[in-house]
A and B are shown apart, each in its own frame.
Chain A
């Protein structure tokens, strides 16, 4: 079993929809939680970064961490065609900062 599980999708939604992306993990030492976005033939780029539990909002994006359930989510409001990409969750443990373990990635397509 992988340390981080993520449904690869693909996920297809109409423009303007609310998108929910999720990951589960097994390592209780993970304290740093990130979401990366990757466009085709490009490297991943950081989208959201949270430490420990709670919510974080940035524009149309909201990241949630529930450490008790070992579950993290990314919500995208008012989705746009430009949001079409692969979204990867990533996590690292305290003392191991920078060593990120990634989920498989979920491919999202937002249709106009």
Chain B
């Protein structure tokens, strides 16, 4: 049963600390997305990749967030330094460009104190 795998599931950290979230997309999918979900804003697109190349990261605060795909099996989202307003659930999703359907991971719940 193919699925998107995200780690960690839960993370509590202090303000100013670095946070790295990891995602293993479904094998064969060539698009990978990072979304952030909060009660107030809903699901917001942060960044997305196609064939490992970044296509759009306009949704990310550039000064503290960075997203990479070191290889086809790993996508990372890094926050440095973290702030309380970054507290949210971060979702990774993967898909195939011809289908449009996205498959989501279970999310990484981040709490910044």
Q: Taking the nearest CB of chain B, how far is it from the CB of A17, in angstroms?
A: 25
Q: In the complex the two chains form, what is the Cα distance from A66 to B100 in whole Å?
A: 20
- B25: interface (CB < 8 Å): no
- When the two chains form their complex, are residues B100 and A43 in contact, meaning their CB atoms are under 8 A apart? no
- A80: interface (CB < 8 Å): no
Considering only residues 69-95 of chain B, those with a C-beta below 8 Å from chain A are 91, 93, 95
Of B33, B48, B101, B103, the most chain A CB neighbours within 10 A belong to: B101
Interface residues on B, range: 20 to 34
Considering only residues 88-112 of chain A, those with a C-beta below 8 Å from chain B are 88, 92, 97-105
Closest residue on chain A to residue B48 by CB atoms: A99
- When the two chains form their complex, are residues B102 and A102 in contact, meaning their CB atoms are under 8 A apart? no
Contact partner, A49, options B100, B103, B104, Cβ 8 Å: B100
- When the two chains form their complex, are residues B104 and A34 in contact, meaning their CB atoms are under 8 A apart? no
List A residues at the B interface (Cβ < 8 Å). Answer: 32, 34, 41-46, 49, 88, 92, 97-105
- 12 A-B pairs (CB sep. < 8 Å): A32-B100, A43-B105, A43-B107, A46-B101, A97-B98, A97-B100, A98-B33, A98-B100, A100-B33, A100-B102, A102-B42, A105-B42
